[in-house]
Structure 1
Amino acid sequence: MPLNSSSRRTGFLPVLALIVLFLVAVTVYAVSVLREPEDEPPAAAECTATADGVQYSLTPGRAATAALIAGISVERGMPPRAASIAIATAIQESGLRNLDYGDEAGPDSRGLFQQRPSQGWGSEEQIMDPVYASNAFYNALEKVPDYLNLPLTVAAQTVQRSAFPDAYADHEPEARAFASALTGQSPASLTCTLGPPSTSGSPDAVLASLTAVYGPVDATVEGNRITVAGTGSYGWSVAQWAVANAEALSLDSVAFDKQRWTRATGTWDPAPTSDNAVVMTVFEVAEQS
């Protein structure tokens, strides 16, 4: 006997429901299982200084600026405390950036320390040179009576005459950590986590940057390797300056005092090295055959 229309509809609905469920299941499976996993975003590049078990981080560019400020204090033979004061001041005034503008309180302020041509710090062109600006700051700091024993914010304010005299103290722990590493007082305490470099480095550029900060150095170049004579805290200052500048200068590794930092690990690890020389290896992009 032929089925009536009601019977046909009743038999069709379960089949339709099964088809819909099957399609949903296939879609969920394709999305959750068969989809290619997305690459995780790369970790942000950063440089870290550790002091008393606490880590402080800066971008590679700002760490390189801190290294310049600290290295100049080493070249001048100043105590590490001077570098702490200078780095804390630059963090407060510019965020360790070479600013080409000021604010309402000092519209002609410029550079790392927001120094003002109208206040006798030098020309705008001079102030925008980080080496000149750092030396100008230290020249003024050395004239502050007993600055080594003053609270950091008092020493900084005596130089800067800021509208916010207590603000420098906010940056003292961070500044001390980076100053201690970058003046060589705390060996192997500054590391940088970086991605692979995109361009080859230049040994000549490394030496030019190094001598701008430390003055003439006893260095030799063999291929992509630069060897700088140095021992003790001076050697560690140069070594950690190199790590802080590894991003900008395309350095692949830095070795000193039985320790080596590499881009691959981002850490200082035991390695056979010279006790009296810092060895920097410049990254070279492999030529396409």
Structure 2
Amino acid sequence: MRHAGIDDFLRLARPALAAGPVAVIMAEDLVEVESTLQHHLAAGFRTLLLFAPQTLVLDPEIAAQVHRIDHPVREEHALVRAVNRLIPHAPPGTWFYYGYNAEYLFHPFCETRNVRELLAFHTEERRDAMLAYVVDLYAGDLDRFPNAVDRAGALMDRTGYYALARPGPEGHPKERQLDFFGGIRWRFEEHVPRARRKIDRVALFRSQPGLVLRDDFTFSAEEYNTYACPWHHSLTAAVASFRTAKALKSNPGSTYEIPTFLWHNSVAFEWSSQQLMTLGLMEPGQWF
């Protein structure tokens, strides 16, 4: 179903938010939109909302499975603002995922367990949010793929990830919160604004009254921003993303400065949860 804006969706199709988990996808451009939708439909989301420019044309079979919402996707913090519009209209406790086109959510054992099973276990663990690491994907041949997107030959960095303590209001480290860095945002940080260099994103969360998603992809409820509960390791997820590579190759200030993303620690992305867990980019916690 197509909606002429978020107000139209909330007026006509708000009950769809009750059929969670809900995936919210923001199509900033027309790159790999359908593959993104197919990936998240296959993951087991019951409701999928696509915020997209009016110029996007979808395959009718895919369009029939999503709520397509016309939206000014290039506005500053467009995805954050859209999510914050949705939260108050969803039943409390509804699980949401949010991300962009050419981004693909992975979770431990996703080849055999769907996202509904994942979130049911996480809820039983008394967790209301799940930290994800955004793993940069990129094409190896920028002459053939000038927008840096090559799903069949996607590469990623196998090393170079690290974390720093997240300072609180008085300068003391926040409990169970860290700022994570790595990938091509780290290797080409001179082209990335400081506020956008982190790769951590609280990408899965449960709605609750008064909850607000902040511009840095953390939440107003501080416990949502923790990587684990106080008593043991918790599940984490990963978002395999071409978004940074696309941006660096579309930005006139960086595209000519980056002839290749390849380096000695580039490896083929296997599109598997096991690879991400082996590299320490995803935590299975107590879920075996």
Between structures 1 and 2, the one with greater strand share: 2
Higher relative contact order (CA 8 A, sep 6+): 2
1 or 2, which has the higher helix percentage? 1
Q: Same fold (TM over 0.5)?
A: no
The two structures have a TM-score, normalised by structure 2, of 0.29
Structure number with greater Rg is 1
TM-score normalised according to structure 1 size:
0.29
